[in-house]
Amino acid sequence: MDVLEKIVVPIAAVSVSVVLAFFTARAQARTQVRGQQRLDYLLSAYRTLADCVHRRLSVEQAHAFERAMDDVILLGTSEHIELATSVRDSLAREGDAGVDELLIALRRDLRSELGLKASELGGVPSIRMIVADSEAQGA
């Protein structure tokens, strides 16, 4: 019996350790994938919102803006959700809203999640190109 205990107990302990390590690694991998998906969605939302700033939106851009806001409300931090909700409420009430604060918060947190240094850029960087209308050029 003493020999059996010397063999079975260590084998059982190792087996339990291996099973626990497997499930822990699997859970960590799942968490990592979810984190990457969240980051991808928020980066896409940031780009879409930044693209819509200070311009008249087409129907397609308006739908993209709405989807980006939904993604921020679904996947953002509590600060992002609060800011996005404020933008949504302002749009509903007044038909207009500024998204600068939301974009600044998103940029700050995304840079942090990506391991980048904090940006010293104060406002929202945007470059708006004026594209000549093809019909106006032909006339």
Q: Note the pLDDT tens digit of each residue in 102-124.
A: 999 999 999 999 888 887 766 66
| Residue 139: pLDDT over 50 | no
Q: Report yes or no: 106 and 46 within 8 Å, Cβ to Cβ.
A: yes
* Residue that wins the pLDDT comparison between 31 and 68: 68
| Residue 137: pLDDT over 60 | no
| Residue 2: pLDDT over 90 | no
Between 78-82, 119-123, 126-130, the lowest mean confidence (pLDDT) is in 126-130
| Residue 79: pLDDT over 90 | yes
Cα separation, 124 vs 33, in Å, equals 29
Q: What is the pLDDT of residue 84?
A: 96
Quote the pTM value: 0.71
Instruction: For the chain, give the mean pLDDT.
Output: 85
List, in order, residues 6 or more apart from 72 with CB less than 8 Å away: 42, 45, 49, 80, 81, 84, 102, 106
